[in-house]
Chain A
Amino acid sequence: MQPRVFLVDDHELIRTGIRSELSGSLDIIGEADEVQAAIEIILERRPDVVLLDVHMPDGGGLAVLRAVTDLAPEVRFLALSVSDASEDVISVIRAGARGYVTKNISGPDLLDAIYRVAAGDAVFSPRLAGFVLDAFSLEGRHLEAGDVDPDLDLLTPRERQVLRLIARGYSYRDIATELAISAKTVESHVSSVLRKLQLSNRHQLSNWASQRHLN
């Protein structure tokens, strides 16, 4: 069954491009070019996957995520952006998006990412993996040992390894081969990183964000 996909982007050209590239392989059930309309239509039509632009007027993708996730937890979000600002990307992920890809992603890769998100997996682009490694490494470096619940807040060596490989440009299949584990295990590592990212102490990650600004 094709996933039912909803597009949110304030740029007509981008929506048109995505629609023409994906319409054959996906069931695109609607689109919106502003936050309020997006929230209403998503709540009404309950798509499987929302392709969400990070930067929009009136609060951006974050506002859509915050409004929808509580009322319709079954709707999954994939953030799509040209943004290079890691804070924006991380905050969207923390608000509940299941992945982040950049807009110059190729059609087949985007399709793959959407299917993955529809299946409940996480989608980490190399850049997102880099942001996450950065966030967690800074956290670990600047905190006293007693401050952190290690189970929750820090990545395991294996998760770190997987993230590094993603950042190096490896696909999930490549990673599975490289580490001699199954693709399923790779996916579960990535999902667990996502979970930690979303659950970890708000204070610490905002620390990280402010440090990024200072640098």
Chain B
Amino acid sequence: MPTQTPPRPIIGTPVRPYRRGVQNAILGGVCGGLAIRLGIKERVVRIIFCLLALVSGVGFLLYMILWLGVARADEPEAIAQRLVGRHRQLNRIAIGIVAIVAIFFFLQFLGMPDLGVFTWPIFLTLLGAVGIWRGASPEELVHLGEFAKSAPFLGAAASKSRGSFWLRLALGAILIFFGLRILRHLGGVWGLATPAFFGTLVLIGGVLVLLAPWWLATLNDLTGERRERVRIEERANVAAHLHDSVLQTLTLIERAAGDEAAVVRLARNQERELRQWLFSPDGSTDASSFLGDLRALEDEIENDYGVRIELVVVGDCVSDEHVTALVAAGREAAINAARWSGADLVSIYAEVEESTLSLFVRDQGSGFDPETVPADRQGIALSIRQRVTQRGGTVTLKSTLGAGTEVQLVLPRTS
């Protein structure tokens, strides 16, 4: 659980527990958090740490240990805990540590002098930096990325505020201090080309390790920002669509709550619309294909007659004269079924094959005897027949009293 601590120190009042600061953090929030914990000013803690850093680098080491070992105020676990929790990360870091130690001993072997009393603090600090880079939470990385943008190292985003000026000055001083110490060592005692070369390499390596997290965090920050923007746009689209469709329908349903048939119709319409939107993402249901025509037909009949249509389509093709005629005939058949059969479900099955188009319209309603069809329904049957046979197709009508009706339409394809 995130622990509640005040964002700023309350001077004179120590606050438990110790958490790294978030709002008063410059780098890792170690000093800010300590100030809150002890109830003293942040500046005092920071000055103490800087002084400690000059004493054999103890300040660095202490800062790293606290950074790794203490949880951020708004996070449940410390970076070290998180690293230990992730075994793969841990392996990688262990390999890194072994490599760095190996290089170190190799340099010792070559006669490379140690960097004085600072050697171990610096190496351990570098290791700590790697650990933080791998284990910090996204929020903290974002914070570090922001810090990097205003940090003096990268120069690009040198801000003009007085705070960053002092920061730059302090860091510059520390670096120069180390540089001088190293050079004094090399020049005074060893004065050889090889160790100097390796010393420079180590220095460059150290600087790279120090800068890489900043640089990468900034990079990540940028790509993350871009991704976030795309996501927000996408979300806005979805929201707009849901508003125009689902929300409107829900309002309509609330209003029509008493009218069962209307509610069912609205719900079904919305369901169908939403499905098409969800499952044909590129909006490929334009009415210029067989499938598109049939979907439109499904819509129309469900709307106008309040029956459910079970539409199954195998294959698809571009709409042409034959497709249009077949769908029109199917429409008549489906309307017939919806109107007269008394069934609440009409199955429509369509299949596109190499040389033929077929369409089956079936209900499990009352059925009828084709011989004794009333005149007004015969007209429709005729119009179905005409549309299809005119173009070289066949119509089969199967109906059993009490068991339903099926109209089978088969038409050759034009091409």
**Residues of A bordering B, CB below 8 Å:** 82-85, 104, 126-127, 129-130, 133-134, 137-138, 141, 164, 167-170, 215
Within 8 A of A (CB), among B113-151: none
A168 touches B360 (CB 8 A): yes
Within 8 A of A (CB), among B300-356: 308, 310, 312-316, 345, 347, 349, 351, 353-354
Q: How far is the CA of A126 from the CA of B362 in the complex (A)?
A: 12
Q: Does B275 contact A (CB under 8 A)?
A: yes
B362 touches A169 (CB 8 A): yes
Q: Does B284 contact A (CB under 8 A)?
A: yes
B399 to chain A minimum Cβ distance, whole angstroms, is 14
Within 8 A of A (CB), among B345-396: 345, 347, 349, 351, 353-354, 360, 362, 364
25 pairs, A vs B, C-beta closer than 8 Å: A82-B275, A83-B279, A84-B275, A84-B279, A85-B279, A126-B310, A126-B349, A127-B312, A130-B312, A130-B313, A133-B351, A134-B315, A137-B353, A138-B315, A141-B354, A164-B351, A167-B314, A168-B347, A168-B349, A168-B360, A169-B310, A169-B345, A169-B349, A169-B364, A215-B316
Within 8 A of A (CB), among B76-125: none
A5 to chain B minimum Cβ distance, whole angstroms, is 25
Which chain A residue shows the least CB distance to B280?
A: A84
**Contact residues in B for A164 (Cβ distance below 8 Å):** 349, 351
**Residues of B bordering A, CB below 8 Å:** 275, 278-279, 284, 308, 310, 312-316, 345, 347, 349, 351, 353-354, 360, 362, 364, 406
A35 to chain B minimum Cβ distance, whole angstroms, is 21
**Contact residues in B for A130 (Cβ distance below 8 Å):** 312-314, 349
A137 touches B315 (CB 8 A): yes
**Contact residues in A for B362 (Cβ distance below 8 Å):** 168-170
A129 touches B279 (CB 8 A): no
B191 to chain A minimum Cβ distance, whole angstroms, is 64
**Contact residues in B for A83 (Cβ distance below 8 Å):** 279
Q: How far is the CA of A164 from the CA of B349 in the complex (A)?
A: 8
Q: How far is the CA of A215 from the CA of B317 in the complex (A)?
A: 11
**Contact residues in A for B308 (Cβ distance below 8 Å):** 104
**Contact residues in A for B310 (Cβ distance below 8 Å):** 126-127, 169
**Contact residues in B for A129 (Cβ distance below 8 Å):** 312
Q: How far is the CA of A198 from the CA of B264 in the complex (A)?
A: 38
**Contact residues in A for B275 (Cβ distance below 8 Å):** 82, 84
B274 to chain A minimum Cβ distance, whole angstroms, is 10
B288 to chain A minimum Cβ distance, whole angstroms, is 14
B187 to chain A minimum Cβ distance, whole angstroms, is 62
Excluding A82-B275, A168-B347, A168-B406, 6 further A-B contacts by CB distance (< 8 Å) are A84-B279, A85-B279, A126-B349, A137-B314, A164-B351, A168-B362
**Contact residues in A for B279 (Cβ distance below 8 Å):** 83-85
**Contact residues in B for A85 (Cβ distance below 8 Å):** 279
